[in-house]
Structure 1
Amino acid sequence: MSMHKVFWIGFAACAVGAFMTGMPEPDDAGEGGTAPGASLMAAPAPADANDGWGGDDIRLDRRGDGHFYAQPSIGGRQLDVMVDTGASFVALTGEDARAAGIYWSEADVRPVARGASGMVEGVPVMIDRIELGGTEMRDVEAAVIPEGLPVTLLGQSYLRRFDKVEIEGDSMILSRD
């Protein structure tokens, strides 16, 4: 692989990973809307894993591109999302948000974060429910990013609810003590 190609692959990964550094709180008007629900599915950890919350640890495998992905069902629609520990919140592509039944108005688009290439515009929303590996998290901060986001990101507004987010070899393990 040429050095030029390696640079661009690394740059793209960094740009996505550093995409969002913070999101202003949505105002009380509830801009954008609320997702009817979300569900992420992952392979559970071995049966002897006990994370103290009534379920197994959640184990995600690294894909060939070096990133970890999950397959959420949001609003009854199966999606493929990238787990991004560098993203401050869950960021939905416009296409994935529409597929999940999350609607917004172009008039609601506003700056929601600062990314590697400047301000990121989107619509703050709240996802009612995200299920991952048999667990459920409710009221997860998110934003619809109508343009410029190549894949939906599962960021810190979801991940920080776990006590541990660890990488062991080619597996990411999410657990609660």
Structure 2
Amino acid sequence: MKALLPIVLIIGALIGWFAPDGPEASEGARPARAPAPEARPAARPAWRGGPLVLPRAGDGHFYADVRVDTRDYRMLVDTGASVVALTGEDARGMGLHWDPSALAPVAHGASGPVLGVPVVLDSVAVGDFEARSVQAVIVPEGLPVSLLGQTFLSSVPNVRISGDDLTLAN
């Protein structure tokens, strides 16, 4: 997991891809049924249940079972990551396709530039917490596990870490 640390630390730079005056998503990436911006808010939370508590794993990280559209994935919860970052394998499982020529630097890691493609995910949910039209980036090389970053976490009213528990709550 130590190899993950440089990538996790630089994912914060990804948010520049989604700034209003930043570059548009590459035509080589297919968003997952991305709606028009006026169709619905960028991150609309929809929760019905109580708090969701995620225990710290043996490696010191928190992991969540995440539903993207209709499929489940295991992601590392990264409160320091600006966006949801997908491995190439998870992106392919979601039906996302990208042209390798569309890859562009999205961050800088210990080994040099990190290449990725911005996308929009229709629905991301953890337990009863759901966000729609979630900005994400596909990082097909060098990311060993997908990251659940702030483009989802910011839609949850209360995210807190206490001891060995990370809690998502209203």
Q: TM-score, normalised by structure 2?
A: 0.78
1:20 counterpart residue number? 11
AA at the equivalent of 2:109: G
Q: Give matches, 1:1-177, under 5 Å.
A: 11-12=2-3, 14-23=5-14, 24-25=17-18, 26-27=23-24, 32-36=29-33, 54-176=48-170
Deviates more, 1:99-108 or 1:53-62: 53-62
Check conservation: 1:87, 1:153, Cα contact below 8 A: yes
SS at match of 1:35: coil
Identity of aligned residues (%): 43
Aligned CA-pair RMSD: 2.4
AA at the equivalent of 1:160: S
In structure 2, do the counterparts of structure 1 residues 115 and 137 end up closer, same or farther at CA, with 3 Å as the change threshold?
A: same
1:42 counterpart residue number? none
Structure 2 unaligned regions, length at least 5: 35-46
Check conservation: 1:75, 1:101, Cα contact below 8 A: no
**Deviations, residues 140-164 of structure 1 (Å, cap 9, x unaligned):** 1100001010100001111122232
In structure 2, do the counterparts of structure 1 residues 13 and 143 end up closer, same or farther at CA, with 3 Å as the change threshold?
A: closer
Rg larger for: 1
- Higher relative contact order at CA 8 Å, sep ≥6: structure 1 or structure 2? 2
Distance 2:99 2:4 in 1: 30
Check conservation: 1:127, 1:139, Cα contact below 8 A: yes
**Deviations, residues 69-88 of structure 1 (Å, cap 9, x unaligned):** 01223354332110011211
Deviates more, 1:22-31 or 1:80-89: 22-31
Give 1:115 shift.
3.2
SS at match of 2:13: coil
Distance 1:75 1:105 in 2: 22
Check conservation: 1:159, 1:165, Cα contact below 8 A: yes
